Chains A and B, each alone.
Chain A
């Protein structure tokens, strides 16, 4: 450092020293390179398909404030969440200080003290130190966790741990140099000690006191060294980001704003698909067939692994890891993009690159198969736990669904045991090969009108009871059907069923990637519903509930669809269901959340409330994973129709957890969950009942007030 380079301590002019000029050069180079890197990365997003994500700016900004700035999802996990939030908020506060420092590098006289009233400036200075201490503490804890006691989700091959440690180290170094710069300045510049140090800079002041023995010259040099170290670290950090997973720092807030996983729009609805479009292929088998937003997800991911830790398939030893889906997408994009969009600074470079040796290998590869395998895709239960957990609103499931579509629609590739399901859906309008004529057998002798009968009498019922295929054909689920019908009758609800006119709406086909079959079935169902001018539908199957309520609008079917948990709760609240007043002994019950009811539709309280209202003395207990964190039963995403050959069975994992609550009864609100829990209980040979919430309520019906004595459908 130049001796004559005596800095002007407090100056109002722009008198630049040699150091300032040097730093200006460094700053210009650093900022240019950073902007180049950003443009280069963002340019790769042009590989993806266009998608409109500018709707509902208000909702998006709300997401940014809550999920982004308030870190609401990060904080779902205690330890790491608080630490991350501390670093994040620390960064926000310290960025103001960093800006001052960088400006001072070129404009020595700059300082917030000239802009702010003194008390406010003092508070600002205090905030810098306080947050620096907080960040240092959080980073130390995070480093300890990563190096000494890493949780499962931070172990394994796919994790870039070295990078994480370097980044944490750099952050720690930034904090340390921030303090040392202040401390050496305290020693070196006696003139400002009185005004610039004190209670509002406790650490710099204390440290400076400790360094009091240093000579002025040494202190001055050390101050400069500290300052340069800090500034260079900031700029280096900035320029390192776009090249590793910590690009997340730049992209996550942007991603949260653009994401639809917490709205706007219908949460969990699969992407609409135009089957008439003149396209060469359907779904996505490589990055070009994903949207820019799917690709941005890759840049927003910091590989924290919360998605994978929540994934029921991964937990039970399947090959699927939602994190790998996202990082594979990102890495494949980085591999392929140069051949598609070329390099930023070389005109026509994509064409040239495609001729280079080795190019063919990259072009022959694709995301599907070469990066993400079929086995991973079919392991997914579409439970949405990954999407729910992601702190930066990445949509792992959308990528999985698009890849499944490509497999089925372009190549007819799916587990062989799925074929009977597709064929039955085509031929019988149900995933199982039962005769459509037997659909309403459960209703025989129960005096339940069909829509057709109602119409003949010139009546239009208030609600349509949509029974669903499980409720029509599975002998266990038929008991739920009858129980719910009894409740409706006891409450004098004016309802009807479609009877033999009901067919599957195609949701299983859609989840299994067969969009074509789905649309055929869904359009058929919408036609039937519209023919009867149906307005309100009640169903006890969360999959029907979600499909008809949230996805039918894509095809022009608009109905009010209510899940029976909500419907019964309303009936109970309005005192319309005649219940016995005797409740017998106090039951301990654990309610198992259905994914399509909970995470897809945010219905957590209605089933619990229904149980409490029906059995005021019930003791409701919660399993370890519950509500939005509830573990899937294993049947979603079409897994009901795929064998589970690998790892532990998901339903066993879940049943164990439910049985461990000590509950005598497991309550469910989904016929698929029912079949999985019944099997789990049988396997564990547990002395536990599995009941649908409507069965619990029906058992409490006051026989004196039931409209007609009913016999279950046998």
Chain B
């Protein structure tokens, strides 16, 4: 089986973000970057499928500046066989431009399965996977928390509001992977990191499509107010409940 996984390099979400000078981007100084969590699970899912189906290969693809090579190397260290960087100065918003570039790369790859994370944790949009499926004319199953491949077809499960859908679809197909499909992504061993240095990593210009959606502004949410002691003993409970209702609005 030939599997492709599209992955994104994102800043660590534990960081305290600052807005860039243009007012419409995140200031990247001091930020640490890594593969988006959902994409890590997608790589893990691909590797597990490849282990189950002998003779499989896993190719990882990422769009962005040269720094994404580090993220691709991580996927190679985890066990992917080959990597492709679609070189672009930045990742445009709206998904469509990226989807076109990815689709152009994937079109003639002969992949049986193309995996995405359900969403990238930074832009939190979750739109690229289904767009690529549409552009390639492939069936698409999104937000899978279970995926099994049997020959040329697959079954999966996804959580929807208030229930679980079971899906069946033929291959080749595009799937997006949600939390829960794998327990956790494997941690690259030093052995894997060494091996990754020798694996192929191709870099080619990304054929970005039109944009249509632009980020015009970025801002930080209102600072959280300093914590306070509401009072002592059970007598303070009514005040706490009032604050939760009127101030924090969580009750």
Which one of A56-64, A328-336, A426-434, A477-485 contacts B?
Answer: A426-434
Is B187 in the interface zone, CB < 8 Å from A?
yes
Task: Pick the residue among A410, A426, A516 that contacts B34 (CB under 8 A).
Answer: A426
A290 to B189 CA separation, bound complex (whole angstroms): 20
**When the two chains form their complex, are residues A275 and B190 in contact, meaning their CB atoms are under 8 A apart?**
yes
Which one of B9-17, B84-92, B165-173 contacts A?
Answer: B9-17
Is A315 in the interface zone, CB < 8 Å from B?
no
CB-CB nearest in chain A for B187: A412
CB-CB nearest in chain B for A405: B190
**When the two chains form their complex, are residues A412 and B15 in contact, meaning their CB atoms are under 8 A apart?**
no
Which one of A13-21, A40-48, A435-443 contacts B?
Answer: A435-443
Is B153 in the interface zone, CB < 8 Å from A?
no
**When the two chains form their complex, are residues A412 and B186 in contact, meaning their CB atoms are under 8 A apart?**
yes
Which residues of the partner chain A approach B183 to less than 8 Å between Cβ atoms?
416
**When the two chains form their complex, are residues A428 and B189 in contact, meaning their CB atoms are under 8 A apart?**
no
Is B193 in the interface zone, CB < 8 Å from A?
yes
Also in contact, A516 and B193, with CB within 8 A (given A416-B184, A424-B14, A437-B16): yes
What are 17 A-B pairs with beta-carbon distances under 8 A?
Answer: A275-B190, A282-B190, A408-B189, A409-B190, A411-B191, A412-B187, A412-B188, A416-B183, A422-B187, A426-B34, A427-B34, A428-B12, A428-B14, A428-B15, A434-B14, A436-B30, A438-B16
A432 to B232 CA separation, bound complex (whole angstroms): 31
Task: Pick the residue among A412, A419, A424 that contacts B192 (CB under 8 A).
Answer: A412
Which residues of the partner chain A approach B15 to less than 8 Å between Cβ atoms?
428, 435-437
A437 to B16 CA separation, bound complex (whole angstroms): 6
Give the contacts of A272-298 with B (CB-CB under 8 A). Answer: 275, 281-282
Least CB distance from B157 to A in Å reads 23
Least CB distance from B251 to A in Å reads 26
Is B32 in the interface zone, CB < 8 Å from A?
yes
The number of chain A residues with a CB under 8 A from chain B is 27
Which residues of the partner chain A approach B186 to less than 8 Å between Cβ atoms?
412
CB-CB nearest in chain A for B12: A427
A516 to B187 CA separation, bound complex (whole angstroms): 12
Is A695 in the interface zone, CB < 8 Å from B?
no
A423 to B12 CA separation, bound complex (whole angstroms): 10
CB-CB nearest in chain A for B188: A412
CB-CB nearest in chain A for B33: A427
Least CB distance from A680 to B in Å reads 27
CB-CB nearest in chain B for A430: B14
* Binary A-proximity of B5-45 (CB < 8 A = 1, otherwise 0): 00000001011100000000000001010100000000000
Also in contact, A281 and B14, with CB within 8 A (given A419-B184, A427-B34): no
**When the two chains form their complex, are residues B32 and A428 in contact, meaning their CB atoms are under 8 A apart?**
yes
Q: Select the residue from B16, B186, B191, B193 with max chain A CB neighbours within 10 A.
A: B191
Is A515 in the interface zone, CB < 8 Å from B?
yes
Least CB distance from B23 to A in Å reads 20
Also in contact, A410 and B190, with CB within 8 A (given A416-B184, A426-B34, A436-B30): yes
Also in contact, A427 and B184, with CB within 8 A (given A516-B190, A516-B193): no
A426 to B71 CA separation, bound complex (whole angstroms): 13
**When the two chains form their complex, are residues A281 and B32 in contact, meaning their CB atoms are under 8 A apart?**
no
Task: Pick the residue among B32, B190, B192 that contacts A426 (CB under 8 A).
Answer: B32
Also in contact, A427 and B14, with CB within 8 A (given A416-B184, A436-B30, A437-B30): yes
CB-CB nearest in chain B for A424: B14
Least CB distance from B207 to A in Å reads 32
Least CB distance from B78 to A in Å reads 9
A429 to B14 CA separation, bound complex (whole angstroms): 11
* Binary B-proximity of A117-138 (CB < 8 A = 1, otherwise 0): 0000000000000000000000
Q: Taking beta carbons and an 8 Å cutoff, which residues of B are in contact with A?
A: 12, 14-16, 30, 32, 34, 183-184, 186-193
Also in contact, A515 and B30, with CB within 8 A (given A427-B14, A435-B16): no
**When the two chains form their complex, are residues B14 and A433 in contact, meaning their CB atoms are under 8 A apart?**
yes
Least CB distance from B111 to A in Å reads 27
CB-CB nearest in chain B for A278: B194
Give the contacts of A513-544 with B (CB-CB under 8 A). Answer: 515-516
Task: Pick the residue among B12, B14, B189 that contacts A412 (CB under 8 A).
Answer: B189
**When the two chains form their complex, are residues A427 and B191 in contact, meaning their CB atoms are under 8 A apart?**
no
Q: Taking beta carbons and an 8 Å cutoff, which residues of A are in contact with B?
A: 275, 281-282, 408-412, 414, 416, 419, 422-424, 426-429, 433-438, 500, 515-516
Least CB distance from A520 to B in Å reads 11
Which residues of the partner chain B approach A410 to less than 8 Å between Cβ atoms?
189-191
Which residues of the partner chain A approach B34 to less than 8 Å between Cβ atoms?
423, 426-427
**Majority SS at the chain A contact face:** helix
A483 to B18 CA separation, bound complex (whole angstroms): 31
CB-CB nearest in chain A for B183: A416
**When the two chains form their complex, are residues A409 and B191 in contact, meaning their CB atoms are under 8 A apart?**
yes
CB-CB nearest in chain B for A276: B194
Given contacts A416-B183, A427-B12, A427-B34, 20 further A-B contacts (CB under 8 A): A408-B189, A409-B189, A409-B190, A410-B190, A410-B191, A411-B189, A412-B186, A412-B187, A412-B189, A414-B187, A422-B187, A424-B14, A426-B32, A427-B14, A428-B14, A428-B32, A435-B14, A435-B15, A436-B30, A438-B16
Which residues of the partner chain A approach B187 to less than 8 Å between Cβ atoms?
412, 414, 419, 422
**When the two chains form their complex, are residues B184 and A281 in contact, meaning their CB atoms are under 8 A apart?**
no
CB-CB nearest in chain A for B226: A714
Least CB distance from A253 to B in Å reads 38
Which residues of the partner chain A approach B188 to less than 8 Å between Cβ atoms?
412
CB-CB nearest in chain A for B40: A423
A677 to B91 CA separation, bound complex (whole angstroms): 49
Q: Select the residue from A409, A412, A438, A500 with max chain B CB neighbours within 10 A.
A: A412
Which residues of the partner chain B approach A414 to less than 8 Å between Cβ atoms?
187
A438 to B16 CA separation, bound complex (whole angstroms): 8
Least CB distance from B80 to A in Å reads 15
Least CB distance from B14 to A in Å reads 4
CB-CB nearest in chain B for A515: B190
A226 to B155 CA separation, bound complex (whole angstroms): 86
A428 to B183 CA separation, bound complex (whole angstroms): 23
Which residues of the partner chain B approach A416 to less than 8 Å between Cβ atoms?
183-184
Which residues of the partner chain A approach B16 to less than 8 Å between Cβ atoms?
435, 437-438
A416 to B187 CA separation, bound complex (whole angstroms): 10
Least CB distance from A40 to B in Å reads 35
CB-CB nearest in chain B for A428: B14
A423 to B32 CA separation, bound complex (whole angstroms): 11
A437 to B30 CA separation, bound complex (whole angstroms): 9
Least CB distance from B76 to A in Å reads 14
**When the two chains form their complex, are residues B32 and A427 in contact, meaning their CB atoms are under 8 A apart?**
yes
CB-CB nearest in chain A for B74: A426
Which residues of the partner chain A approach B12 to less than 8 Å between Cβ atoms?
427-428
Which residues of the partner chain B approach A424 to less than 8 Å between Cβ atoms?
14
CB-CB nearest in chain A for B15: A435
A411 to B188 CA separation, bound complex (whole angstroms): 9
A516 to B12 CA separation, bound complex (whole angstroms): 20
A516 to B191 CA separation, bound complex (whole angstroms): 10
Least CB distance from B150 to A in Å reads 29
Which residues of the partner chain A approach B14 to less than 8 Å between Cβ atoms?
424, 427-428, 433-435
Which residues of the partner chain B approach A412 to less than 8 Å between Cβ atoms?
186-189, 192
Which residues of the partner chain B approach A428 to less than 8 Å between Cβ atoms?
12, 14-15, 32
Least CB distance from B119 to A in Å reads 19
Which residues of the partner chain A approach B32 to less than 8 Å between Cβ atoms?
426-429
A226 to B10 CA separation, bound complex (whole angstroms): 85
Least CB distance from A548 to B in Å reads 22
A282 to B194 CA separation, bound complex (whole angstroms): 11
Which residues of the partner chain B approach A429 to less than 8 Å between Cβ atoms?
32
A408 to B32 CA separation, bound complex (whole angstroms): 23
A487 to B183 CA separation, bound complex (whole angstroms): 48
Going nearest first, the 6 A-B pairs with the smallest beta carbon separation are A409-B190, A427-B12, A437-B16, A435-B16, A433-B14, A412-B189
A275 to B197 CA separation, bound complex (whole angstroms): 14
A282 to B193 CA separation, bound complex (whole angstroms): 12
A81 to B183 CA separation, bound complex (whole angstroms): 52
Least CB distance from A437 to B in Å reads 4
CB-CB nearest in chain B for A408: B189
CB-CB nearest in chain A for B185: A419
Task: Pick the residue among B30, B184, B191 that contacts A282 (CB under 8 A).
Answer: B191
